[in-house]
Amino acid sequence: MLVRLLPRNLEYLWEEQKLIKIVKRDHPSRAIFFLTPVLAIFLTLVAGGLIFYILGFKPFEALKFFFIVPIADMYGFSELLLKATPLCLIAIGLSFCFKSNNWNIGAEGQLTFGAIVSGGVALLFYEQEGFYILPIVIVAGAIGGMLYASIPAILKTYFNTNEILVSLMLVYVSKLILDYLVVGPWSNPEGFNFPETRQFSESARLPLLVEGLRIHAGIFLALAAVVMSWFIFYKTYLGFQMKVSGFSLKTAKYAGYKGKKMIILVFLISGACAGLAGVGEITGPIGQLHREVSPDYGFTAIIVAFLGRLNPVGIIFASLVVAITYLGAETAQIFMQIPKYTGQVFQGMILFFLLASDYLLFFKIKFIGSKK
């Protein structure tokens, strides 16, 4: 009896009950492909409401402060876009890696390194003005991200090293490098040794789009990345290869390892995107280098990539959804004293539910009806 309780194989268990038959699909269902993210979000809301209730908060009110209030006004909506921009950008880059079975977990490190390089360049020009400064800074950031991403790429292609662990370890290394620079050599000489650099000159800042709001030109970078990735995925052979490998478990092996060049290419793309996200943060809202420049965007972007099904349009929507969990956690804290970590709880749950509902992609549940 106990053996039956162990989920040895769902098929057998439920078949024995003769209620449901689980049948493997021949190919993944397209309808489900687009529905599961929605299902996952819905389940997250329900679970979230439940958690609020258990903690003693009114569920509907909490959910309102979490999801509606933050974007209820123009400023709030612009903050949403502001937060979604780096998430979208990084996730687009990640989609290239994930589709081809390269697990770049170190986007956060590439973001940080991109911020370091571009920040360093911006500091070189800190007293100068000139329209040429910003492009140089941006390019520097992309290069920084690419350089950093090339490490796991090269180690994987030429040394057979697992990219998951390498890219992950490098995240911490980059954060420590940033910390060292900001606390030490790069700290503002006129800043009484406080751990922050000088502020960048106006020329090194991304121009604001609307007076009074914080969204900046970085959003164009994100949109450009979306368009570019859409083009590559749907209009080029490279993209076709990636798409095929993304759907099927078996052909992943073939398409994923086709040539060392492709591996390096996808890592470079991903690194550049993450690096650009880093530039966006420091030349956008922050305006200088701090010891921390990102609230783990690189990791959350992984969730965005999955939620968006590695699809450029999906990623746009996914980044908005995940961005709201950041804002919502803050607002809920201000107005209802709900602990701010609820944001992460939501993010984790979305991914759990999405991964779980993916089961429906590959398996169909047929209701036979009880036969007793």
Partner 1 sequence: MIIDINFVGLIITSIMASSVPLILASCGELITERSGVLNLGVEGMMIIGAIAGFALMTVTGSLVIAVFGAMFAGVLISTIFAFLTQTLITNHVATGLALTIFGIGISAMIGKNFVGIPGKEFPILFGGLKDAIPFLSPILFGHSIVFYFAFALPFITNYFLKKTKIGLIVRAVGDSPDSASNQGINVRLVRYLCILYGGSMCGLAGAYLSMIYTPQWIENMTGGRGWIALALVVFSTWNPIKILIGAMIFGGLTIIQFHMQAIGVRIPVQFLTALPYIVTIIVLVVISRDSRKIRLSTPSSLGKSFYKDH
Partner 2 sequence: MHKTLIRSFVSSLVFLFTFTVTAVAKDVKAAFVYIGPTGDHGWTYQHDVGRKAVEAAGYKTTYVEGVPESADAERVLRQLANSGHNIIFTTSFGYMNPTNKVAKEFPNVKFEHATGYKREHANVSTYAARFYEGRTILGTIAGSMTKSNVIGYVASFPIPEVIRGINSFTLAAQKVNPNIKTKIVWAFTWYDPGKEAEAAKALIDQGADIIAQHTDSTAIVQIAEKAGIFAFGQASDMDKFAPKAVLTSVENNWGPYYVDRVKALANGTWKQKDTWHGIGDGMVVISDLDSAIPADVRTKVNQLKKDLASGKVHSFTGPIYDQQGNLMVAEGKTADDGMLAGMMTYVKGVEGDIPK
Kindly list the residues in this chain that would bind partner 1 in the complex (CB under 8 A): 6-11, 51, 55, 103, 105, 155, 159-162, 164-166, 168-170, 172-173, 176-177, 179-180, 183-184, 249, 299-300, 302-303, 306, 339, 341-349, 351-352, 355-356, 358-359, 362
Residue among 107 and 332 whose Cβ is closer to partner 2: 332
290 binds partner 2 (CB under 8 A): yes
From the list partner 1, partner 2, none, partner contacted by residue 214 (C-beta under 5 to 8 A by kind): partner 2
163 close to 101: Cβ distance less than 8 angstroms: no
* Minimum CB distance to partner 1, residue 281 (Å): 20
Q: What is the DSSP letter of 54?
A: H
**Is 141 within 8 Å of 117 (Cβ atoms)?**
yes
* Residue 19: C-alpha distances to residues 14, 363, 366 (Å): 7, 16, 9
79 sits near partner 2 (criterion: CB under 8 A): yes
Q: Which is nearer to partner 1, 174 or 201 (CB)?
A: 174
**SS3 state at 329:** helix
- Name the binder of 195 from partner 2, partner 1, none, CB < 5-8 A by kind: partner 2
Q: Nearest distance from residue 336's CB to partner 1, in Å? A: 13
d(CA 278, CA 117): 10
Selected from 11, 15, 61, 292, the binder of partner 2 by CB under 8 A is 292
Distances (CA, A) of 284 to 85, 276, 281: 11, 11, 5
Residue type, 171: V
Is residue 126 at the binding interface for partner 2, with CB under 8 A as the rule? no
Question: Helices (DSSP H) in 210-257: which residue ranges?
Answer: 218-235, 237-247, 252-256
Rounded Cα gap, residues 120 and 114, in angstroms:
10
Decide if residue 331 touches partner 2 (CB under 8 A).
Answer: yes
Of 98-106, 189-197, 201-209, 298-306, which segment contacts partner 2 by CB under 8 A? 189-197
64 binds partner 2 (CB under 8 A): no
Contact of residue 9 among partner 2, partner 1, none (CB under 5-8 Å per partner type)? partner 1
Q: Which does 176 bind (CB under 5 to 8 A by kind): partner 2, partner 1, none?
A: partner 1
Q: Looking at 194, 234, 247, 359, which residue binds partner 2 (CB under 8 A)?
A: 194
Summary count for the chain: helices (H), strands (E): 16, 2
Residue 293 binds to partner 2 (criterion: CB under 8 A): yes
Concatenated DSSP letters of 266-306: HHHHHHHHHHHHHHHHIIIII-S-BS---SSHHHHHHHHHH
Which two three-digit tokens encode residue 142? Answer: 């992309």
296 binds partner 2 (CB under 8 A): no
Nearer Cβ to partner 2 (245/342): 342
Residue carrying structure tokens 């751990």? 195
Query: Least distance to partner 1 from the beta carbon of 24, Å?
Result: 8
Does 344 bind partner 2 (CB under 8 A)? Our answer is no
Q: Nearest CA to 308 among 196, 221, 210, 233? A: 233
State which residue, 158 or 341, has the beta carbon closest to partner 2: 341
Binding to partner 2, residues 203-242 (CB under 8 A):
212, 214
Determine if 340 is a binding residue for partner 2 (CB under 8 A). yes
Report how far apart, in Å, the C-alpha atoms of 355 and of each of 164, 215, 307 are: 19, 32, 9
**Among 150, 161, 248, 333, interactor with partner 2 by CB under 8 A:** 333
The CA-atom distances, in angstroms, between 313 and each of 29, 198, 318, 353 are 19, 38, 9, 20
345 lies in the site for partner 2, by CB under 8 A: no
Amino acid at 279: V
Residues that bind partner 2 (CB under 8 A): 75, 79, 179, 183-185, 192-196, 199, 212, 214, 281, 284-287, 290, 292-293, 295, 327, 330-331, 333-335, 340
